[in-house]
Amino acid sequence: MAVKSKVTHEVREADAASLFTVVNGLDADGESWKEAADVFSFTSGGIGFHMPRSCAVGTLISLMLQLPPHLRSYDHDEEFYHVWGLVQNCHLTSNDELSGYQIGVAFIGKTPPPSYGANPLQNYRICGMNEDGLWKVTESSTRFVQRKDLRYWKKIDVYLALIDSRRESIGGERTVTENVSKNGAAAKTSLVFNIGDRVKLISEEYDFSGLAVVCNMQQLKDGSSRVHMEFVENSFPVERLKK
């Protein structure tokens, strides 16, 4: 099952080379902007793209792209897929071929939450998954602060399962965490995940099972990847790590 999952994701990575998206958002002063961005990764749950402009983590943006119909939750017959997303990460990149920002976004649906109309600069966080397989968000009382939770550099045996919109496993493997915090974890994996993917992390040792969203991926020299995940329903029992 894990092999099938890996092949599927590799095809998506290849297809992403010819995909772009039009991004609409607001700056810190509430001024609207629009940018065309090159996509490097996409799934039914989210997208990763390169763009000259940065996006604040925790803010909502709207995207228009020609996402393959089988990865859409609606508008399957439309040429373009209009979807709102929550910015999960934004990193400055600079090399000989590319400069700007690498941005990861989790899809939340065809329309923004009602509170967005009252305050378009409102910050949000993921709090679960809707019945249609898209991410559910709730208002955040504070702006995102990078690594606000204490990280424990501890190796924990876990099982990572890639899940679909019905929360059914479509592949997985046993691996070891590199670090873990109350709200997230990082682990090395041979599976190919994409930003926005839905992952179930299970630790028998700490009696933990939690749904997570893939926020970032890093390719390693040995061919494996480092996956960064944010828990969206349950918090990891870090207090037990201190015992």
Q: What pLDDT, on the 0 to 100 scale, is given for residue 243?
A: 65
- Locate 111 and state its tokens: 């329309």
Does 78 lie in the same domain as 181? no
- State which H helix or E strand residue 136 sits in: strand 135-139
User: For residue 212, what pLDDT is reported?
Assistant: 95
Range of the domain at 8: 2-139
Considering the domain boundaries, does residue 149 fall inside one? Answer: no
Residues 206 and 120 in one domain: no
The verdict on residue 151 lying in a domain is no
**How high is the pLDDT of residue 241?**
86
The reply to whether 105 and 18 lie within a common domain is yes
The ranges of the chain with pLDDT < 50 are 1-14, 16
230 phi-psi bin (left φ>0, alpha ψ -120 to 50, beta other) = beta
Let me know whether 135 and 167 are in one domain: no
Report how far residue 43's alpha carbon sits from residue 240's, in angstroms, rounded to the nearest whole number: 34
pLDDT at residue 167, rounded to an integer: 84
Q: What are phi and psi of 140, to 5 degrees?
A: -105, 135
**How confident is the model at residue 15, as a pLDDT?**
53
Q: Are residues 67 and 24 in the same domain?
A: yes
One domain, residues 11 and 51: yes
Name the domain count of the chain: 2
Point out the domain boundary residue: 109, 139, 169: 139
Task: Specify the 3-state DSSP secondary structure of 33.
Answer: strand
- 206 in the Ramachandran plot: left (φ > 0), alpha (ψ -120 to 50) or beta? alpha
Whether 52 and 126 share a structural domain:
yes
Predicted local distance difference test score (pLDDT) of residue 14: 40
